[in-house]
Amino acid sequence: MAPGPPRVAVIRPVEGREGALVRLVDGPPTPACVHLDEAAGWDLWAVDEEDWAEEGGDGSVGLRELADHVDERTWSLVARGVQLVRFARDHRYCGRCATALESGEGSGRRCPHCGLSVFPRVDPAVIVLVEDDAGRALLARNARFPEGRYSCIAGFVEPGETLEDCVRREVAEEVGVELDRVRYEGSQPWPFPHSLMVAFTAHYAGGVPAGDGVEIVDTRWFEPSDLPSLPPPASIARRLIDAWLVRQGGAPSEPVSWD
Ligand SMILES: [Zn+2]
């Protein structure tokens, strides 16, 4: 099948919640563009705004806001483009010998002087929905959340730690609860700025839930009939919660689609 017409995501990484400002313009791509893939009938490319000759800025939206304007696959590809552009900006010189880096294998960059190769960074993080024998879900309220919102418990993996160890440690530290039956459910790239969210369910094994008062300001058991404000539908946190609701509704215990 012939590829669709080219479209270029012109990207300016920014600090703060949005991660990047993005505008989608009709191609053709320049040599500075990186090919993403086809989506929604377009052949998608990404480029750093600094390497795009055309003046612009009008019509740029934040990466989070872009999710309201394009389909999920397009958004995921643009999010990958944002991470590649940010990586190239943050790795202009070799960290070992300070020579300017060149394009390397795949998404990597390589030092022509000493041979050091660097690749885009991905930070693994876990997110877990804890369930008790009564079928209730333990959700927590992070100090940074919008008013009224609760979600699953999440945290970054530390060096030397397995994902399952991280689930148990984060839940113990943040809400004081012990777990068993930690089970993998799926994963989701989370480009703010470069995480991979790895999702789990776990069974409550003891302890009295209480927030740490710093990061977690409240934590509570919830019934399916009495839910707080939840995270957005595109997030894997929401998919964990939705899958729990399906289980509580007596629906077939089929694997939930994570695509
Ligand atoms: Zn070097």
Q: What pTM, to 2 d.p., does this model score?
A: 0.82
Give the Cα separation of 136 and 96 in Å (integer).
Answer: 52
* Amino acid in position 50: E
Radius of gyration of the chain from its Cα atoms, rounded to whole angstroms = 21
pLDDT digits (tens, 9 = 90+) for 214-248: 889 999 999 998 899 998 877 899 999 999 999 98
| 246 CA distance to ligand 1 middle (Å) | 53
Share of the chain above pLDDT 70, in %: 95
pLDDT band at 250 (very low <50, low <70, confident <90, very high): low
Q: Where are the domains of the chain?
A: 6-90, 91-120, 123-248
| 92 CA distance to ligand 1 middle (Å) | 11
| 108 CA distance to ligand 1 middle (Å) | 14
3 state SS of 255: coil
- DSSP string over 11-51: EEE-SSTT-EEEEEEE-PPPTT-EEEEEETTEEEEEEEGGG
Name the superfamily (CATH) of residues 123-248: Nucleoside Triphosphate Pyrophosphohydrolase (3.90.79.10)
SS (H, E, C) 102-154: EECCCCCEECCCCCCEECCCCEEEEEEEEECCCCCEEEEEECCCCCCECECEE
Give the Cα separation of 95 and 232 in Å (integer).
Answer: 38
Give the Cα separation of 218 and 195 in Å (integer).
Answer: 25
| 114 CA distance to ligand 1 middle (Å) | 4
| 86 CA distance to ligand 1 middle (Å) | 20
